[in-house]
Copies of this chain bind each other. A is one copy, B any other.
Amino acid sequence: MGEKPKHVSYGCCAAGVPGSKKGVSGVRFSLAPMSDGYAEQILGAIRKVDLSKLWSKSDATSTVYRGTAEAVLDGLRACFIYAYREGVHMSLDATLTKGCPGDVDADYTLEFEEPRVNYPKLAAFHFPVAGRFAVYPLGTDSYMSLIADTVNAGIDRGVVSGSGHYATFLQGDVHAVFDYLSDIFLSLSARVSHLVIEIALACNFPEEN
């Protein structure tokens, strides 16, 4: 054990004022393949993702991507698909964020030309996923209507399969679900100063085998 970290000082940050003036979006995520071969499955996927449009850092528990919203979602989708193995149950837990008042204009790649650099290689991969998400618009009073609009758009698209305590359920082809998540992250980002979307997806449930 080293010395204790110093106290943080972002308590004075103003709500409604993103810390990143350049509009950096980001995600922190973890993959959990429920298999003895999990380590190579995770590390192999992380290495395969084209990071030319993203800043990335991995530690022992998670990976962070920072860039444009489109590039962040493209990288997340790619890492999940590259980690897929037929018959292996796997979960993805991800936190998408934009506009945190404590954020800074550092650790990013902002490439606005063709940010979805991974998608063309993955468009032909299809498998069913199921999971849940929750939207947290911070620093605003009107957040419940934003959440309801978002959920109802997912019902109309056929990827929202129901609601439970603390979550809205997702179900569908991997691309249909990621298309929806990408679209709501982009559209909510335009309406909310500080946005968090928590996502949990999984594939190859034991019930299916």
Contacts and interface: CB of A to CB of B under 8 A. Distances in A.
B200 A5 contact: no
Interface string A88-111: 010101010100111100010000
Given A155-B7, A160-B5, A165 B26 contact: yes
Interface in A137-160: 137-145, 147-149, 151-152, 155-156, 158, 160
Given A32-B32, A139-B141, A143-B139, A61 B202 contact: yes
A28 B95 contact: no
> A-B pairs with the 6 shortest C-beta distances?
A11-B148, A32-B32, A11-B145, A34-B38, A15-B141, A13-B144
Contact of A39 (B132, B137, B206): B206
Contact of A9 (B10, B39, B59, B148): B148
6 contacts: A6-B155, A15-B142, A34-B38, A38-B89, A137-B138, A139-B141
A160 B7 CA distance: 10
Contact of A144 (B15, B93, B137, B205): B15
